[in-house]
A and B are shown apart, each in its own frame.
Chain A
Amino acid sequence: MKYVIIGNSAAGVNAAEAIRKNDAKGTVTIISDEEFSAYGRPLISYYLEGKVKAENMFYRDDNFYKSRNINAVLNTKAEKIDVKNKTVSANTGKKYAYDKLLIATGSVPFIPQTQGLSNQENVFTFLTYKESRRLKETINKKSKVVIVGAGLIGLKAAEGLFGQVESITVLDLADRVMASVLDKSAGALIQNHIERNDIDFKLGVSVKEVIGQSKVSKIVLSDGSELLCDILIMAVGVRPNVELAKGAGIKINRAIIVDEYLQTSQKDIYAAGDCVESWDCLSNVCKILALWPNASNQGETAGYNMSAGNKQKAPVAFAMNAISFFGLQLISAGIIGQADKDSIFDISSNKLRRLNIVDDKLIGYVLINDQQRAGIYTALINDKTKLSSLEYDIKAKDIGLSVYPKESRTCKIWGKNQ
């Protein structure tokens, strides 16, 4: 059996591991256009900050590929999938034959068309280790950094740069930070906290024009104001990386469409991770859930199905995030909804606990600096547990396993999930 995996991040690596568990003999090839062994992608901001050293960036230990007999073809871009002859051709001219193929190409940064933006050398994205390294080498104490996008990536970049540059300004078209993930109250709490650390926000604006000859020196905003800038980071958002799949005639909506076994419309071709549309079990629609846990889970499932036949269904998924900004720890999951008095249970200047309860079920939550046992909330969402069946009102006090009735609690502790 010949397995080829395109992409060397969470989905790709977990798929390779799963394949090796089922099939010790087949050849496993991972093709990646990045030059590094698999690394923890979310760690790039920690690297920038200096909190994680280069040697700790890697997702698996040094001999991961060797010990599992995985052929890692790095720094190589897969350019075309020949569905008929079952081969993948790379930019190196080499062709890789497959019996089962996994597309785990992830996302690419989305850069909006902006006047004067192209061919500027001090413009960065913030999605790869390579970019993070380039950024780290470029910045100095006098850098004036402008980050476009106050989402997760933009804010993490700001945190990573903090203290290493002269100024950081974060722009966003939305009126609040992390608009796609958080409601107003949580967003405001986080924004206040970050502002206290000397990072400027300009919200409700976009970049109208970028000024500079081969090097950005200034940007003009939609409200007419101008900002001096010598490092520009474009963190508006990401797009699923589906070009390769598209070329192979695989069905695509906003991202690659897969069935419950993570197989694409083409036989023997699977896809997993940020480049696919996942079934969101809470809102009951297919959407892109670009989340690390989701990518690892899907990668593992895809790998399993590729090597053992379609037996394992993709685990249910919904949005979830655990992230920190300047010591403020944020955990959220599910559908967060709009904050109102009825849904906020504890709030103070740096703490928040909000549960979104609909029809006797927990469908989402936001916890800021209050997260010791958040996973139990996640499980309540995941299992669609009826809250009235529980031992106490989850709004009233901190969550614990004691919330479950004795029988199901014992079941859980003794290792059986009911």
Chain B
Amino acid sequence: MSLDFSTPLFEVIRDEKKCIQCKVCVKQCSNKVHSYDEEENLVKADDIKCVNCHRCVLLCPTRALSIKKYSLEFRENANWTGQAINEIYKQADTGGVLLTSMGNPKPFPIYWDKMLLNASQVTNPSIDPLREPMETRVMIGRKPDSLEYDKKGKLITQLPPQLELSAPILFSAMSYGSISRNAHESLARAATELGICYNTGEGGLNRDFYKYGPNTIVQVASGRFGVSREYLNAGAAIEIKIGQGAKPGIGGHLPGRKVDEDVSATRMIPIGSDAISPAPHHDIYSIEDLRQLIYSLKETSGYKKPVFVKIAAVHNAAAIASGVVRAGADAVVVDGFRGGTGAAPLRVRDNVGIPIELALAAIDQRLREEGIRNQASLVIAGSVRNSADIVKAIALGADAVYIGSAALLAIGCHMCHSCSTGKCNWGIATQEPELVKRLNPDIMYKRLVNLVTAWNHEIQELIGGMGINAIDSLRGNRLMLRGVGLNEKELEILGIKHAGE
């Protein structure tokens, strides 16, 4: 049968006056959109293959290319949108679950954009970070209930292990396998230069990257891929992944074709085999079970490294976080529903989980009420887009934030939502050598360093404006936030006043 209901999403526009038939687009498009017709000396495009990744647009030496939405109208219907209809066609065609990538794109409220920051005027004067010292360093880990000093003023209390970060930013867990070796190298080198950390994700740690250990967080997830005593001791902290914001309740699946020799060695699985991470950890059915895993990891690493537990922001996140802290985690990571992923079922991505802002406020509030907020750091993830989001997160109670999508954008991601195809034209979400090559870590790690350096400076300016000279003084300081256009309930959960109050 040749009847196919799929229609192009994008249209490639080529200005023939500018096209020089250099074929750069032909050579660069891994989706084979462009082709050269020798007979007519024309470069042509097959729109249906285009994912709008901009690779050709940016590399075209004469700027002859642009991409537009394919102008095909469905009969106007607020309920049955073009997308909804297309999804039906696709599933009727394949009989399968719709797979997609990146974070929830639906127009749910973005609370970051409904909160505004304070600034000092007259009293408690603002501070200029270019003139005065400013502290953005944070320590992630359990803090003791009280501190004891000897007569000479020396600290007697033994401090639990702490992870020092020069800025309240970490690179999110993205496994080697889901992203390329060069992408990993860029993240690792940038983290090292910046004095922050990147996270291995559930893909193990390649031998070649052990040298970045002091700036690495090693992850243990339900598939336990790549986990060994050496691995657990290779990083600066260990993270147990229970859930992920983009697909709470769902496991992971790295297709066998992405498991090449190097990935196989890193994950400790046979070449070409599918790497399936189950939805739950099969040895964790209770907080007590989680405590066992936390302590076995602490035991293995000699109680020298903080152990993080990452959960997805779901309805009863606050209660779960409380359990996680009581289970002995040194940090709780909460990942909101807009967090990205390499591959997730579309229905899950778009319909499961809650906004990170609300989860964060609720968790911080709950831990305070229970008097255990000091027992663990709180790290949030799930679409932190800029430095203001970070400042707002810290004011709501976070210690630090993970950035994933933003980091990928810095190294070339164009949010084309096609990670799961493995044909990433920017060399990020792919294992094909000629595509991986496109991501030059020498160039890209500097872009990550630039991004975090810029954000860190902006954070200093924002908190300096509030008259605060250390990030620690902002943490949980919700008076620095005011809501705009929020209802009473939302303000109550966020624990903030409305603007003007």
A–B direct touch in complex (beta carbons closer than 8 A) = no
Binding site for A on B (CB under 8 A): none
Binding site for B on A (CB under 8 A): none
